[in-house]
């Protein structure tokens, strides 16, 4: 009988190790930490899906509750607020801009007559998760405000399943126009020549789309000076780019999950996921997808050879005849897919900073956008992390602390320091 506890312990250990372990490329540092993070995220997704199947709660709501609960525990030990204020001079206000909830971070008051920088930030989370007020987004925005003497406005746009595209985009655009009004900039003592729009992942998508709209709106007297995009998601026509295939199983953004985020955002039937994964939705039978439009995301032309990974040309399906574009019109809407914008639109955009990670399904979206902006005459800084993975920018606090995340955040802050 004494042998039984040993057998049970060993069996459980092996089972847990089998669940946690996933093969990762040698280029990813701190692999076991990433495996544990991924195991926790997968467990959250599995439990949320089970609760949804049982009719207990919507799975997105369950994921939010799980992540917020974890953040609440961590906040008691590691947040800037609970530690007595790592940035004690930063004033935080929760208000609304044009009816949209925002959190405003104001640095300590400077000398009379000194104008400050301004940054509008959109958080990531697949247009379904995340908040300006919780986790590392709050910490990062406090840091930017304090270190750069910057007024940061972080937007709490509405999320799926409460709303779909274009509502999150419209929330961000309304808040941006309000922020850029001369009256609001004067109220916060912001230099109208030094205002940035920024975001990560889905927030990078929103930042790019808002930057395009504002830059091409002749009625606005103040425009964004720079756009800083952190591994942005920019198109939904090709889920077989080299980075989507290379990194399809790399934490924390697996390829099927990104497709699901897109389907949710565009209010499409989730059963279409398998069709989208093989690019049936962008087949040659989709007459609305013209050759000129396809050229705007032709990675065989837009990517450097080292990123093509021996692939020769994009996967374009010839025989699928279903009218996906009519079923999901947002696929071709540049407000949802900024990479599809015309060169004339891109040319009016502000200087850009685009952060990409080698081990990220969205790597090629960012690299292609950088190339298209450069071809349109926009000054672009491409900041590529060879050991980076999706989400690393947010993992800067123990126990979810990665060296590449701290380096990525520092690179972002330094770029704003020198370019805004």
What are the residue numbers of the active site? Answer: 201, 360, 390
Residue 155 and residue 104: Cα distance in Å, rounded? Answer: 9
Q: Are 282 and 290 in contact (CB under 8 A)?
A: no
Instruction: Name the strands in the sheet holding 380-389, side by side, starting at the edge strand that comes first in the sequence.
Output: 91-97, 100-106, 150-155, 116-122, 190-200, 226-230, 351-359, 380-389
Half-sphere exposure for 382 (CA within 13 Å, toward CB): 20
Distance from C-alpha of 207 to C-alpha of 201, rounded to nearest angstrom: 10
Residue 399, preceding peptide bond in cis (omega within 30° of 0): yes
Tokens 């799975």 belong to: 59
What one-character-per-residue DSSP string does 175-214 give?
HHHHHTSHHHHHHTTEEEEEEEEEEETHHHHHHHHHHHHH
| Residue with tokens 């990560």, as numbered in its chain | 200
Q: Helices 167-179 and 202-215 meet at what angle, rounded to 10?
A: 60
- The answer to whether residues 188 and 106 touch, using CB atoms and an 8 Å cutoff, is yes
What is the C-alpha R_g of the chain?
22
């Amino acid at each position: 009988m004494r042998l039984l506890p040993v057998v049970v312990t060993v069996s459980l250990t092996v089972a847990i190790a089998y669940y946690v372990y996933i093969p990762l490329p040698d280029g990813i540092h701190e692999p076991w930490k990433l495996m544990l993070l991924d195991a926790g995220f997968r467990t959250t997704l599995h439990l949320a899906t089970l609760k949804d199947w049982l009719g207990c709660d919507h799975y997105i709501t369950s994921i939010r509750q799980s992540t917020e609960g974890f953040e609440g525990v961590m906040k008691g030990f590691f947040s800037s607020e609970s530690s007595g204020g790592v940035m004690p001079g930063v004033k935080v206000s929760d208000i609304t801009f044009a009816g949209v909830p925002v959190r405003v971070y104001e640095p300590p008051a400077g000398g009379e007559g000194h104008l400050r920088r301004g940054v509008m930030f959109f958080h990531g989370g697949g247009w379904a998760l995340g908040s300006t007020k919780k986790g590392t987004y709050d910490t990062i925005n406090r840091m930017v405000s304090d270190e750069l003497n910057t007024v940061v406005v972080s937007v709490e746009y509405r999320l799926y399943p409460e709303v779909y595209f274009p509502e999150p985009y419209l929330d961000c655009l309304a808040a941006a126009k309000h922020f850029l009004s001369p009256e609001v900039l004067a109220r916060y003592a912001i230099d109208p020549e030094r205002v940035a729009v920024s975001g990560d992942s889905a927030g990078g998508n929103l930042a790019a789309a808002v930057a395009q709209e504002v830059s091409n709106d002749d009625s606005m007297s103040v425009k964004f000076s720079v756009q800083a995009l952190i591994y942005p998601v920019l198109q939904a026509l090709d889920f077989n780019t080299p980075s989507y295939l290379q990194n399809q199983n790399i934490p924390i953004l697996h390829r099927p999950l990104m497709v699901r985020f897109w389907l949710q955002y565009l209010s499409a039937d989730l059963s279409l996921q398998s069709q989208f994964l093989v690019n049936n939705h962008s087949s040659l039978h989709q007459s609305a997808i013209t050759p000129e439009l396809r050229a705007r995301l032709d990675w065989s032309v837009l990517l450097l050879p080292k990123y093509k990974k021996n692939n020769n040309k994009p996967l374009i399906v010839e025989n699928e005849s279903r009218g996906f574009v009519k079923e999901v019109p947002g696929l071709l809407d540049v407000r949802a897919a900024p990479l599809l914008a015309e060169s004339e639109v891109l040319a009016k955009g502000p200087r850009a900073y685009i952060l990409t990670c080698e081990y990220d399904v969205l790597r090629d979206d960012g690299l292609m956008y950088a190339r298209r902006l450069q071809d349109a005459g926009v000054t672009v800084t491409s900041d590529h992390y060879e050991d980076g993975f999706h989400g690393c920018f947010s993992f800067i606090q123990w126990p979810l602390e990665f060296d590449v995340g701290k380096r990525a955040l520092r690179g972002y802050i330094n770029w704003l320091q020198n370019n805004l």
